[in-house]
Amino acid sequence: MEFYLTILVGLIFAASTYMMQSRSVIRLVLGVALLGNAVNLLIFTVGRVTRDIPPIIPADFHGTLTGIANPLPQALILTAIVIGFALFAFVLVLTYRAYESLGTDNSDEMRIAEPKKTQASKLTY
């Protein structure tokens, strides 16, 4: 199972890298979103996928449970999903606003913040 999941994670990474190469900002956004999901799946996989019982301790049980699933990766993924969702929402609005006010979704044409050509003076130091 872990083997197939690893292959899947690799494929999603490849797809997101391909998307992020694009000049179009919207593809960039999709690439970043895909990357976030690939990472979540990766954390899930490295937590070891087993067919064990859920990590819930019975009411009158005292001692160490064995053969339970690892609950930590799920907690990590949950945190990462929430954070990723917030950032994705922000980036989506940001790209939309940038598209609206800059009039382009081509990242090559987004050059307002870059320096313009200035005329050199003969008195410049």
Partner 1 sequence: MADQNLISEAMRTTPTLLAEWKILTPMLAPLVLAAVSLMLRQKDRWQFHIAVTAALIAMIGSGLLLFDIIIDGPQSLVMSGWLAPFGIAFTADSLSAIFAFVASLVTLLIILYSPADVDKAATKSGYYTLIMMLLVGVNGSFMTGDIFNLYVWFEVMLISSFGLLILGGDKIQLDGAVKYAFLNLLGTTFFLIATGLLYGVTGTLNFADLFAKVAASEATGTLAILSVLFLFAFGIKAAAFPMYFWLPAAYHTPRVAVSAIFAGLLTKIGVYALIRIFTIVFPDGNGAAFELFGVIGGLTIIVGGLGVIAQTELRRMLAYLLMSGVGIMMIGISIHTQLSLMATVQYTVHSMLMMTGLYLLSGVIGRMAGSFEIAKIGGIVMQNHFVAIAYFGLALAAMGLPPFSGLWPKYMMIMAAFEQGYYWLIAAILTGSLLTIIGVGRASIQMIWRGGGVDTPDGQYEARGKRLEGKQLRIMMLPISIIFILTLWLGISPNTLIRQSDLAAYDLLNVEQYIEATFGTGEHE
Q: What's the half-sphere exposure (Cβ side, CA atoms, 13 Å) at 28? A: 14
Of 53 and 90, CB closest to partner 1 = 90
- Comparison of 11 and 94: residue with beta carbon closer to partner 1: 94
Min. distance of Cβ 62 from partner 1 in angstroms? 4
In whole angstroms, the minimum distance from the beta carbon of 95 to partner 1 comes to: 7
How deeply is 69 buried, as exposed, middle or buried, from its count of CB atoms within 10 A (0-12, 13-18, 19+)? Answer: middle
Least distance CB 118 / partner 1 (angstroms): 5
Phi, psi of 68 (to 5 degrees): -105, 155
Q: CA nearest 30: which of 15, 44, 40, 43?
A: 15
Distance CA 109, CA 99 (A): 11
Nearer to partner 1 by Cβ, of 15 and 95: the residue is: 95
Residues that bind partner 1 (CB under 8 A): 20, 25, 28, 32, 35-36, 39, 42-43, 45-47, 62-64, 72-73, 76, 79-80, 83, 86-87, 90-91, 94-95, 97-98, 101-102, 107, 110-115, 118, 121, 123-125
- State the nearest-atom distance from the C-beta of 53 to partner 1, in Å: 20
d(CA 25, CA 21): 10
